[in-house]
Amino acid sequence: MYDRIKGFRDFYPGEMSARRAAIDVLEDTAREYGFREIGTPALERAEMWTDKSGDDIVDELYAFEDQSGRHVTLTPELTPTVARMVVAKQQALSKPIKWVSTRPFWRYEQVQQGRYREFYQTNVDIFGSAEPEADAEILAWAADALTGLGLTGDHFEFRISHRDILGGVLESYETEVDTEAAIRAVDKSDKLSRAEYHDLLIDAGLTAEQAAEFGDLIAGGDLDEVEAFANTERVTAAVENLRNVLDAAEDFGAREYCTISLETARGLDYYTGVVFECFDSAGEVSRAIFGGGRYDDLIERFGGQPTPAVGVAPGHATLSLLCQRAGVWPEESVTTDYYVLQIGDTRSEAARIVHELRDRGHVVETDIAGRSFGAQLDYADSINAETVVIVGEQDLANDEVTIKDMASGDQTQLPVDEFPGDRERPTFEDFA
């Protein structure tokens, strides 16, 4: 008996049915927005991560040396991969590039609520537009996908900020500040005590007085106050951009879900502009449901031409937690339209009925294990069959079959050549 590896999960048919329904909503919504599906490899060169983050990141990767001596890793995120793909065919791709992908990723990290070592995300990205409308379209897609799952504004909120507001305020101090370290501290602030948060800001180069001042200013979230405090072109431009994105989000139907939250920073250093995170409004899910933002420099860092980009990546584990809390997670059960039950030597006629029903797009099962009448009926019940078609030797001798409605238990007989007939979805009610 082998144990499952920690941080990896099994999904049985009922669970997968619910997951598939949720994924279909995310992907179908993306298709409505014109996002095109891509496929990406599970394995990439580890240098795509170590070159920008240092060798220490290897401890967080499923990295190894392959048989050709290459240092490779199971991909921990999609953004570097799509950046590589854009660079490879940058001149041939029509702009804006709008891609969607659902797939697993792997990180060797502490397992906790909503976080696993193998996890699934739906990534939605736009390359080639620096306009506020691109950011707003990402927000609008996320809002439409969540409401398509049955969620409302009472269940979630988008906390939105701008990296240049944080960076510009930090640069306005006369002391030398490690801006990225300070932004990472802001990103962790909701998980830290006030003292711990201020200590990280002090470690990044602020004085104790400046750390307290900066913390209060950012927590206040007043854009006018922040702009007046920093009094720099960088912050003024960032505030204007953030307001323009929110104005576009208003037109696109997503503004009602957005809250300005300057403490939203996103810890990854490739973010350059607007960033946002989705949170459970009730606070019952302990971490962000998902996050995204603008990363205008990444394509150039991967050797391509300067290309603005913005994207988001809902994680399915945290999203399922939110949907379950809200009571809108799809039912975790299998469903079957028809079970064709065979009694005696009736395989040929049963197979005809099965084929005709499947040709109409229905989910149809029949006996493949030589079971008794009672065992077949129990199986049909276990797979939630809506209708059972009983094909028995005695019925066929009279040129008949029996149709049974599993919910009510009612059944009726009808001429075999009338089923399924011309009906797209024949049920007991059609013949009762």
Report the candidate in 308, 248, 313 with the shortest Cα–Cα distance to residue 278: 313
| 266 annotated ligand binder | yes
Residue of 244, 243, 279, 275 whose CA lies nearest to 146: 279
**3-state class (DSSP) for residue 256:** helix
Count Cβ atoms below 10 Å from residue 171 Cβ, excluding itself.
15
User: Would you say 194 is a known binding-site residue?
Assistant: no
The answer to whether 15 is a known ligand-binding residue is no
184-207 burial by CB neighbour count: b if 16+ within 10 A, else e?
bbbbebeeeeeeebbebbbebbbe
Query: Long-range contacts made by residues 2-11, C-beta under 8 angstroms, separation at least 24?
Result: 5/117, 6/111, 6/117, 7/108, 7/111, 7/116, 7/117, 7/118, 8/116, 8/117, 8/118, 9/116, 9/118
125 assigned ligand-binding residue: yes
On whether 107 is known to bind a ligand per the annotation, the reply is yes
77 is in an annotated binding site: yes
First to last CA, the chain: 51
Instruction: Pick the closest to residue 189 from 239, 262, 258 (CA basis).
Output: 262
Q: Is 102 flagged in the annotation as binding?
A: no
Closest Cα partner for 281 from 133, 177, 375, 155?
A: 155
Which residues are annotated as part of the binding site? 77-79, 107, 121, 125, 266, 270-271
Which residues are annotated as part of the binding site for L-histidine? 77-79, 107, 121, 125, 266, 270-271
